Structure 1
Amino acid sequence: MNANIFAAFEIIARQAGGAPFLETDDGQILSYAQMLDTTARYAHALTQLGVQPGDRVAVQVEKSARNYCLYLATLRMGAIYLPLNTAYQINELEYFLGDAEPRVFVCEPAELAAKSELARRHGVAHVMGLSDAGDGSLDLLAEAQAADFDTVQMPGDAVAVIIYTSGTTGRPKGAMLTHASLLSNGQALTQLWGFTAKDVLLHALPLFHAHGLFISGHCALLSGSRMLFLKKFNAQQVLSLLPRATVMMGVPTFYTRLLDQPGFTAACSANMRLFVSGSAPLLADTNRDFLQRTGQIVLERYGMTESAIITSNPCAGERRIGSVGQAIDGVEVRITDDQDRLLPADQIGGIQICGSGVMKGYWRKPEKTAEEFTADGWFRTGDQGILSSDGYLTIVGRAKDLVISGGYNVYPKEVEMAIDALPGVGESAVIGIADRDFGEAVTAVVVRKNDGLGGDEIIQALKGQLANYKVPKHVFFVPELPRNAMGKVMKSTLRDTYGKPVAVA
């Protein structure tokens, strides 16, 4: 039996045939049969470019039906898909292309010239363009190919996707997710969240992130359901589409912005059976407001790049506001002390996980992989939590200082280095603080050499150097940073002090 995850998608797609798979926000409809044809053409095109099973295909393009089909085609032909945030600047791409060494780098046609030189420096064999309009060089190559392709036989432990994730020290790490781990996670969620061919998923998430790429999309593919595929989230547009949808997956920002719409009522969401939130903390007050407005509780779940979804509140059953639910099928969760010793229920400790959904390891970082796993094979998530006696998990914080803003991971050290390099800055510390819209807002606390230096000046200087989601939303100035006896900056003190910013200093 072929363990390639696309083989599972293919069985369902052939059964669905002409049924709609994906509908774009300009009204174009791609059927399941057309998806099979399109992925076959892209798979042939990649093969012509010399891509072999196990080669990396790096992709940095705007969200589109063609982009998603390229992802599926990469799986189908056994290569490894490497999504890159569309906000990454040239200096940020340097590291990813050098570390992953992709065979092909796919970008927007208008950016081919600028990015080809970068790719050449890192030995990338081909830089190809892909666009929603279908006029990119990869699109044109694919159009000339046959519409049939034998899905490549792959073992379950073969890597399907590498997604880079940041910690609090060192450079980003590529989490290797296998065909078996993605399939196990997708099947568990499809069943747990009750997906059927009658569902219509409102998909407004980006495709360079696990949430949009496979956590949501795979539920549709494994149930033969339909996706309303929006380029980005727009509250008014989503509001108009809710009567046609049954399920929506989003980040807390989506729900706070819906709540800001006067027209968002129980009546307009009456056809919706499920709202899911993840990728960042959903404030309890937001969920209570949502319940009051719609009569529904947003289903919270817990996941991470290294394991996709770990726990989830039930679709049918008790959804506890503030909790991220129970371990899904195929995943186990435990709480331990800092010596990896098991703690009893209702005690705060480190969250550790194991199971079929957990990554294979970090790309080309065997030492880091070994460091993150316990002697008995459990992955240390770096998060702190409490597990109730009936298995509901509540996240209370992170042992690491990773900031998750709008669902995206922000590596504080990277932002601190950029701030510290600015004229007039002595040193800085970057933290995340609770934010209604983004889950956490990136916040910089700065010691300045020049009293004339302002927060707006720092923010403007960082734009163009860093992706927008990494740029601080708030800047505060202090005479010195708080430190412990060992000289380590006490970020917990900073979070307590600046937990409720009202303005940029």
Structure 2
Amino acid sequence: MTLPQARTVGDLVTEMARLYPENFAIIHRRRRMTFAELEASMKAHGSAMLAAGVQKGDIVSVLSANTPEWLEIAVGCASIGAVLCPLNTWNKDDELRRVLERVQPNLLFVGAAFAGQDLPGMVSRILGVRDGDARTGGSNGLRLQVIPIGVGASKFSRYQTFLDAGESGSRGVEQPAVAAEDVAFICFTSGSDAEPKGVLLEHGKAVVNGYHIGERQQLVPGDRLWLGTPLFYGFGLVNALPAAWTHGAALVIQDQFEPGEALSLIETERATAYYAFGNMTRKLLQHPDLPRRDISSLRTGLTGFSEVDIRLAVEELGVTGCCSMYGQTEAHGLCFLSDSSDPVEVRMATQGRPIDGWEYRLDTAVSMDESLPPGAGELLVKGRLSPGYFNDSCATRDAFTDDGFLRTGDLALIDQNGRMIYVGRRKEMIKVGAINVAPVEVEALLQTHPDVDDAYVVGVSDAERFEVLAAFVVAKDRGLGAGDLKAHVKARASSFKVPTHVYFIDATEVPRTTSGKVLKRSLREMADRLANDEN
């Protein structure tokens, strides 16, 4: 498929509506929309925002489950040059308050309660909004309009009124011109090691990079891409969305990931592309409904970062063309990606080649250690990069080199065929004696044990060897012992890679950020306490 002419998200919807008007753009259990219908809704939402006083460059936020309305708001923003800042539905009150105070949105769309989160109630507590109030000024100085979306969002009953006002209220208001270099989205990173940063993402780069991501997966018009993660993730907003829509394909979404519903949705809608992380694949494989569900329509897609993640998706779930990947939010999704036609061994062992338009270099000065693979270094990338972080010039300056490369903080090497092999996070390297050990390598070894569901490795202070390895293991079988796992690793790797400490932990006890990333610093603190108790 050829690269679309559109260089803004709004123009992309219009172009797909012209080329594939009857193709579905959105599929949800409650509603489905063709590209033609999405274009009409985009215009209606854009008009309503203009009537509400939103101007080009203003920020609009949405706090909601994965719903059609979420996507309608996103494209409505895009059509008038407003900037969408999606909010994390897993945030607690203080976390949400900090983000709102930083971005100061003009409009805040609030979805119904779901997954135990009373979203309207949370906004009421933060802003002091009384039932029915749409405009508020809280003690924190915020002044914005709060508008409900979705079924059951009765606490703020203004959504249809908001849309109706757009029909007349925007007459005579000039439609802003939107350019490729304009900011489309602000996506906040997870902040596993620091305060979350708002990554600025541009229209043109999101569209073009998304197209190339879709090409590597060999997406075609009419495909149906099932998305397991929240839309507020970069994996959804600047990866799945543009990859699908630049190819005339549908996004198949559910309010939240639930494995039984996911299997049913994939079967019923005959989804063809799979977008999920490794923990989601494991939950699907373990679900009792899997044997009776026909998910053979899945042929391509993207999944986690480890060899085990790819193997599970390809060999056990049956997504034979599932691709390996590497990227960061700052890269508008991805910058390295395998091809769905690559041999499965290649997809399991590497993160693929650079996506068209990307270049890289390795800073080997940071990894002068004989224990690392020859040629390994910190990965620096340049291409369709974010222009920086929202209102954070210091973080922007620190993240980029003088010649425009992003410092990823990841250690990697490039094989003889130009494919990238991920070694680990630079800051997470563990120094056992005088030897650097990459936690991801030991985690992968532990995950090959048939009774291990997941594993996380951190360093623990040691008087003799500076650091030793501590492994937190989520086991399938309660009879699994620490000695079993140590023997498993010792049979497959050097002795310095064998964990000194093995702690068994329930999956619900793994500390995570609100966006789901594992908090390694919290695990290190836990390991230090446990190791001290042992001594």
Which TM-score tier does this pair reach, normalised by the shorter chain?
0.7 to 0.9
Q: Does 1:315 align with 2:340?
A: yes
Q: Which of 9, 32, 37 is the matching residue for 2:40?
A: 37
Q: Which of 19, 22, 26 is the matching residue for 2:26?
A: 22
- Compute the displacement of 1:173 (Å): 1.3
Q: Which of 108, 114, 127 is the matching residue for 2:145?
A: 127
* Aligned twin of 1:385: 412
Matches within 5 A, 1:139-218: 139-146=160-167, 152-167=176-191, 170-218=194-242
Match of 1:253, SS state, is helix
State how far apart, in whole Å, the 1-side matches of 2:21 and 2:95 are.
Answer: 41
Matches within 5 A, 1:424-503: 467=514, 469=516, 476=526, 478=528
Q: 1:69 to 1:434 in 2, by over 3 A?
A: farther
In 1, are the aligned partners of 2:24 and 2:222 still within 8 Å (CA)? no
Any idea what the Cα deviations from partners look like across 1:191-221, whole Å, max 9, x if unmatched?
A: 2222221212122321111112231122222
Higher helix share goes to which structure?
2
Q: What letter is aligned with 1:325?
A: G
In 2, are the aligned partners of 1:82 and 1:163 still within 8 Å (CA)? yes
- Compute the displacement of 1:108 (Å): 3.3
Match of 2:188, SS state, is strand
State how far apart, in whole Å, the 2-side matches of 1:168 and 1:228 are.
Answer: 29
In 1, are the aligned partners of 2:58 and 2:105 still within 8 Å (CA)? yes
Q: Which of 59, 63, 73 is the matching residue for 1:60?
A: 63
Any idea what the Cα deviations from partners look like across 1:397-456, whole Å, max 9, x if unmatched?
A: 11235999xxxxxxxxxxxxxxxxxxxxxxxxxx9967699xxxxxxxxxxxxxxxxx99
State how far apart, in whole Å, the 1-side matches of 2:211 and 2:367 are.
Answer: 30
Matches within 5 A, 1:328-343: 328-338=355-365
Q: Does 1:138 align with 2:159?
A: yes
Q: Which runs of 5+ in 1 are unaligned?
A: 405-430, 438-454, 483-496, 498-505
Matches within 5 A, 1:84-103: 84-103=87-106
Q: Does 1:276 align with 2:279?
A: no
* Aligned twin of 1:326: 353
- Compute the displacement of 1:155 (Å): 2.5
Q: What letter is aligned with 1:224?
A: G
User: % of aligned pairs identical?
Assistant: 21
Matches within 5 A, 1:231-270: 231-243=255-267, 244-261=270-287, 264=290, 268-270=294-296
State how far apart, in whole Å, the 1-side matches of 2:301 and 2:292 are.
Answer: 13
Q: What letter is aligned with 1:142?
A: L
Match of 2:327, SS state, is strand
* Aligned twin of 1:298: 322
Q: 1:293 to 1:59 in 2, by over 3 A?
A: closer
- Compute the displacement of 1:63 (Å): 1.7
State how far apart, in whole Å, the 1-side matches of 2:90 and 2:239 are.
Answer: 21
Give the CA RMSD over aligned residues: 3.8
In 2, are the aligned partners of 1:52 and 1:79 still within 8 Å (CA)? yes
Q: Which runs of 5+ in 2 are unaligned?
A: 113-119, 130-136, 430-438, 441-469, 477-504
Q: Which of 345, 348, 357 is the matching residue for 2:376?
A: 348
State how far apart, in whole Å, the 1-side matches of 2:286 and 2:312 are.
Answer: 14
Q: Does 1:9 align with 2:33?
A: no
Q: What letter is aligned with 1:379?
A: L
Count, aligned residues: 430
Larger RCO (CA within 8 A; separation ≥ 6) = 1
State how far apart, in whole Å, the 2-side matches of 1:277 and 1:231 are.
Answer: 20
Q: 1:289 to 1:339 in 2, by over 3 A?
A: closer
Q: What letter is aligned with 2:162?
A: L
Provide TM-score, normalisation by structure 2.
Answer: 0.71
Q: 1:435 to 1:311 in 2, by over 3 A?
A: farther
Q: 1:153 to 1:289 in 2, by over 3 A?
A: closer
Q: What letter is aligned with 1:397?
A: G
Q: Does 1:81 align with 2:108?
A: no
